[in-house]
Amino acid sequence: EWEEEDFFWYTRILPILRELEKREDNIEHLCLACTKLHQALDEGNMLGKRFKRRNTLLKTLYKLVDIDSDPLSLKLAKIILAMKVDGKNLLSVCKLAFKICRNEKNYFIVQNDTLLDYLLQVLWNEDLQANNEAFVYCMAAIKVMSEKEVLRLKMVSQGAVEMFLELMKQINNVKEYDTYFSKLGRLLVQLTGTLRILANCAQARRRLSHSGAIPELCVALEQRSSDKDVCIWIVSVLSKLSTYNDFCAALADCSRCYIVFLALLNKYQKQQDLVIRIIFILGNLTAKNDQSREQFFKEKESVNTLTSLFQTYYELDLNAVTWHHDRKKEGKEHLKYPSEAEDVLIKLIRVLANLSIHPRVGAALAAAHPVVGLLVTVLEYKSVDACEELVINAATTINNLSYYHVENSAVQDKKLHLAEMLLKLLMSDNMDAVVEAVRVFGNLSQHHEIRDFIMQKKIYKFMIALLDSKNREVCFPACGVLLNLTVDENKRAFLMEEGGIGKLVDCLQDFGPADWQLSCLICKTLWNYSENMTSAASCFGGDTNALLTLLTALLDEEVELECSLDRDIKDCQRVYWEREFKPVAEKLLDRIQSHHS
């Protein structure tokens, strides 16, 4: 075998090496010679570590590395990697590979070559502890490659995702007291940076899900909480994955994730890029899952942490010189809008809004004066024109909290001040803001002080006008406010004054069987209004006959389900019509008929 190898060396390999030594001036010829050399080494079974003249070959190749040519460097890197080098030689060639890959001009030569295969082999086969620095450059080169779709898909098909997670497991198994624990932080930055890019790819996400990526990422995040760069990349991966239900569920199952997130928020409170991603993740976790809402709320200092963050970023936003687009003064330069501080506040309030949906958590938050105080502050210092999403989110959260009637409710304590702030929203041109304000008034108007405020400020006129919108999302809360106003006998006359009766009847006509909940609300309002009537004509005026006809039609069992196609919806509507709408509509119809000549 040695004789055969010698013969092959002298007849096939050595001539090519001499050719390489002679032609340093001609890159094209050198590249061609490298291709021939790689093929010859493969043919002679001389790739790898067992070839006895390996050192001679590598010396010749390393002399050529200094030539400033990326196409040549690519050829050399592949041969050197194929020789299964280790130690300093592996570090050197991985640095060379990274240098080639990070140059955007080399995209096509890298894409159409097999360098990726050799780099993945390094991660598969070489020892992490002995080659951790080489792994950093190897992973950095792969990260750059992953930005290109063709190479990204190739990676996924070759099992790279599973390998990356296996590598993360190895890193996670290294304990903090080990000598090279801190050195692996640089590798984790490159590894998690690559995973963040792969998280955009559906095929890669499927593999991440099947390979249990979330628990490993959580372990790494907790172990590396002192390494800000690693934390930012891991949180970036989690923020992307948490937008998908299966990953969000997996994250919720990691029992320590809330503890880790809270610890990071406290540790890096003014690190906006980290904070905003963690808050975004918490928003996703609490968006649909009641258990997640309760679990997060129960963690020690969870609400205090959110309140502290709120205060920090509110002050940052207040002190920042911010510009937003003024349509009347086009041509001026403006800073990013919303500002980074506003963006944090928007996402923070989203978390509070989600938490407040849970009955026990919502009731506790309604009594949390610092939380409600900060939400009111947003309405005080921000206009809906300046930052629409922030103001509307604050109003939505206040609406959620105003639903709870609890002892020491901070919302009820501030209800009149809140009403003043909401009046500003009602006067805005933003319909979403108007609807949120009306919803809050729907809850607050259960208190007589707010009903007096609504009458005093003539807000009831606005509510009646909204009934013309033909939009259920607008009509429903507006009708809720009107219903509450008719509880007070001395306020009922406003409905006739403002043409409210006609508008309610029109609303009943428009929505009718399509929305029994709203129809029921309208009938309850008219029932309260007509409590002390002496004649139908004086109470309902010219709308009496239309109302009688409409109520008769809506109480017909044949009509009651005509708008429903879906069987489940039909069943649900049937129950609501039977239990809620029918009793009040029948009583109203009887009252009108008994007072109608």
Q: What is the pLDDT of residues 365-411, one digit of tens each?
A: 999 999 999 999 999 999 898 889 999 999 999 999 999 999 889 99
Q: With 90 as the cut, is the pLDDT of residue 263 above it?
A: yes
Residue 24 above 70 pLDDT?
no
Render pLDDT for 186-211 as a digit per residue (tens, 0 to 9): 999 999 999 999 999 999 999 999 99
How many C-beta atoms surround the C-beta of residue 56 within 10 A? 14
pLDDT per residue over 133-182, tens digit each? 999 999 999 999 999 999 999 999 999 999 999 999 999 999 888 888 98
Highest mean pLDDT among 58-67, 88-97, 487-496: 88-97
Q: What's the pLDDT score for residue 319? A: 82
**DSSP tag of 34:** H
Residue with tokens 């010189």: 321
Mind spelling out the 3-state secondary structure of 308-346?
HHHHHHHHHHHHCCCCCCCCCCCCCCCCCCCCHHHHHHH
CA 9 and chain centroid, separation: 60
> Greater confidence, 514 or 125?
125
Which among 424, 343, 440, 327 is positioned nearest to 379, based on CA atoms?
Answer: 424
- Taking the whole predicted model, whether its pTM rises above 0.95 is answered as no
Q: Which residue has the tokens 């792994």?
A: 135
**580 neighbors 522 (Cβ within 8 angstroms):** no
pLDDT digits (tens, 9 = 90+) for 499-515: 899 999 999 999 888 88
Residue entry with tokens 């500003």 = 424
Q: Which amino acid is at 390?
A: L
Cβ atoms of 171 and 187 within 8 Å: the answer is yes
Residue 458: per-residue pLDDT: 94
Buried b (16+ CB within 10 A) or exposed e, 572-596: ebeebbeebbbebbeebbebbeebe
Indicate the SS3 state at residue 526: helix
Please give the Cα distance from 463 to 486 (Å, whole number).
Answer: 13
Q: Give 28's contacts (C-beta < 8 A, 6+ positions apart).
A: none
pLDDT at residue 331 is higher than 90: no
Token pair 């039609």: residue:
553
Determine the Cα–Cα distance for residues 75 and 111; give it in Å rounded to an integer: 14
441-458 exposure pattern, b = at least 16 Cβ within 10 A, e = fewer: bbbbbbbeebbebbeeee
